[in-house]
Amino acid sequence: MRCYSCGGLSFRAVCETCKNTLFIPTTQTRRIGTLDVISFYSYTTLEPLLLTKHKPEGWRIYRELGRMLFRPFMQEFLEHDDGAVHVIGVDENVHSGYSHVAQLTHAMKMSGVHVQHGVLRARNRVNYSGKPLQYRLENPRDFLYTGKTNISAILVDDIVTTGMTLQEAQKTLANHGVDVLFALTLASARE
Ligand SMILES: [Zn+2]
């Protein structure tokens, strides 16, 4: 196959050269309400890659980003934490034949980590892009949680913008006794 970034021949969706030059993570933490949100990149760095999101082959990019970032993050996390931790993806809903978020959470599967797929679903999927904050407030995601209760979990999403979706997810989970340790996202887009 070819590298989605430079078009060169590559065994992976992103070649080693691009990985080591264009996509060096600049990990940052934002405090949103009572939630710490960790992002590996700023949105602009990843934008060229994320434009593949709605193409059928976009899953390769997400799978690769999961392997590059989310998996090593969890390996390191486990070195400092012994309790069983759960991973919950925000609305692992299928678009263009795959779920973007599920590609990221799938990469976090390892001994000591319980990934719960598809347990936090949005009942409202209106598009927030370009809409004012007020619109988001008036049209919450209205999450439905069907996973395990009384656990500690890491919340995963692809992009964080205002953080309102993550906060709403945190609140829904809290009602089910799920303590969200922090949220982990691919990229942070500030408006
Ligand atoms: Zn490349």
Cα of 13 to ligand 1 centre, how many Å?
Answer: 8
Q: Which amino acid does the sequence have at 186?
A: L
pLDDT attached to residue 191: 62
CA angle 48, 131, 139 (to 5 degrees): 120
Q: Name, in order, each residue with C-beta under 8 angstroms of 34's C-beta and a sequence gap of 6 or more.
A: 170
> Is 87 a domain residue?
yes
The CATH number of residue 86's host domain is 3.40.50
* Tally of CB atoms within 10 A around 31: 9
Cα of 16 to ligand 1 centre, how many Å?
Answer: 7
Number of domains observed in the structure of the chain: 1
120 φ/ψ angles, rounded to the nearest 5 degrees? -125, 100
Within 102-150, strands assigned E span 113-116, 120-122, 143-145
Q: Which long-range contacts (CB under 8 A, 24 or more apart) does 65-69 make?
A: 65/14, 65/103, 65/104, 65/186, 66/103, 66/104, 66/105, 66/106, 66/107, 66/108, 67/107, 68/14, 68/19, 68/23, 69/25, 69/40, 69/186
Is the separation of the CB atoms in 47 and 23 below 8 Å? no
Helices (H) and strands (E) in the chain, counts: 7, 8
For residue 32, give its domain range.
25-188
pLDDT attached to residue 96: 66
Cα of 8 to ligand 1 centre, how many Å?
Answer: 6
Cα of 72 to ligand 1 centre, how many Å?
Answer: 21
Q: In this structure, what DSSP letter does residue 173 have? A: H
> Is 144 a domain residue?
yes
Cα of 14 to ligand 1 centre, how many Å?
Answer: 6
Is the separation of the CB atoms in 99 and 59 below 8 Å? no
> Is 8 a domain residue?
no
Cα of 59 to ligand 1 centre, how many Å?
Answer: 17
> Is 5 a domain residue?
no
Cα of 1 to ligand 1 centre, how many Å?
Answer: 11
Cα of 95 to ligand 1 centre, how many Å?
Answer: 25
Cα of 4 to ligand 1 centre, how many Å?
Answer: 7
pLDDT attached to residue 81: 79
Per-residue pLDDT of the chain (191 residues; tens, 9 = 90+): 888 889 999 988 889 999 898 888 999 999 999 999 999 999 998 887 877 666 777 888 899 999 999 999 999 999 987 778 999 999 988 776 778 899 999 999 999 999 999 999 999 988 888 888 889 889 999 999 999 999 999 999 999 999 999 999 999 999 999 999 999 999 999 76
> Is 116 a domain residue?
yes
> Is 12 a domain residue?
no
> Pairing relation of β-strands 151-160 and 85-89?
parallel
Cα of 6 to ligand 1 centre, how many Å?
Answer: 4
> Is 31 a domain residue?
yes
pLDDT attached to residue 113: 96
Cα of 29 to ligand 1 centre, how many Å?
Answer: 28
> Is 92 a domain residue?
yes
